[in-house]
């Protein structure tokens, strides 16, 4: 197991095959998938495929989505992290995408904000990224708030498969300003 980061409350580590139950809880919930434009996963065997896909990204690009583990309970909470997007998205290619997803019972506790901020620290301090992007369904109020709270700025609205999304960006200089302030 490779620990990537730690925050005050969480260990952020590689997603492992032993995370199958937690990943299933996350990916089988229709409310979690409400704004994602994809279907829930109802077969644990398919979760193994998802985990293997993410683990392949670690090898191929050096980053990927990481498991969020509660330090006190050792429970799988969801995932956070960066993905190197190598296919065109909103006229961009080969960029770091910030993402996060939490099991519903963990919503509203500042976890997405805390772990997204840690992921940005990793992007700028470890990967030496120039900038990081994120996209979110315009109607996903909570996720739009998280992105602005950790310092990303709204760039534009765009259409993704017939659904309006917001496009966000933060660069290294903006992050340094944000990280010098309290964000939680």
In this prediction, residue 180 carries a pLDDT of 66
Picking from 163, 172, 175, the residue whose alpha carbon sits closest to that of residue 90 is 163
R_g (Cα) of the chain, nearest Å: 15
Report the chain's mean pLDDT, rounded to a whole number.
93
Structural domain contains residue 184: no
Residue 171's domain spans which residues? 3-105+112-179
Helix axes 20-27, 44-61, angle to 10 degrees: 110
Give residue-wise pLDDT tens across range 39-84: 889 899 999 999 999 999 999 999 999 999 999 999 999 999 999 9
- pLDDT > 70 fraction of the chain, expressed in percent and rounded: 97
86-90, 111-115, 130-134: least confident range = 86-90
Query: Which is more confidently placed, 178 or 32?
Result: 32
Beta bridge partners of 135: 167
What pLDDT band is residue 136 in, cutting at 50, 70 and 90?
Answer: very high
What pLDDT band is residue 121 in, cutting at 50, 70 and 90?
Answer: very high
Give the domain CATH number at 95.
3.40.630.30
**Per the structure, how many domains does the chain have?**
1
- Distance CA(103)–CA(9), nearest Å, equals 16
- For residues 13 and 66, is the Cβ–Cβ distance under 8 A? yes
Structural domain contains residue 19: yes
- Distance CA(134)–CA(101), nearest Å, equals 13
In this prediction the pTM is 0.94
pLDDT reading at 181 higher than 90: no
């Amino acid at each position: 197991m490779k620990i990537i980061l730690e925050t005050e409350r969480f260990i952020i580590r590689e997603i492992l095959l032993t995370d199958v139950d937690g990943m299933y809880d996350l990916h089988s919930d229709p409310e979690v998938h409400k704004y994602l434009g994809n279907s829930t996963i109802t077969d644990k065997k398919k979760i193994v495929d998802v985990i293997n896909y993410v683990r392949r990204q670690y090898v191929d690009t050096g980053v990927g989505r990481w498991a969020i583990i509660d330090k006190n309970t050792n429970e799988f909470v969801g995932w956070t992290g960066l993905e190197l997007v190598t296919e065109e998205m909103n006229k961009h290619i080969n960029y770091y995408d910030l993402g996060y997803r939490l099991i519903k019972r963990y919503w509203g506790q500042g976890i997405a904000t805390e772990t997204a901020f840690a992921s940005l620290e990793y992007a700028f301090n470890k990967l030496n990224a120039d900038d990081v992007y994120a996209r979110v369904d315009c109607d996903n109020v909570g996720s739009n708030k998280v992105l602005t709270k950790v310092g990303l700025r709204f760039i534009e609205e765009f259409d993704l498969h017939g659904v309006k999304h917001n496009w966000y960006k933060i660069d290294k200089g903006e992050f340094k300003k944000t990280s010098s302030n309290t964000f939680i």
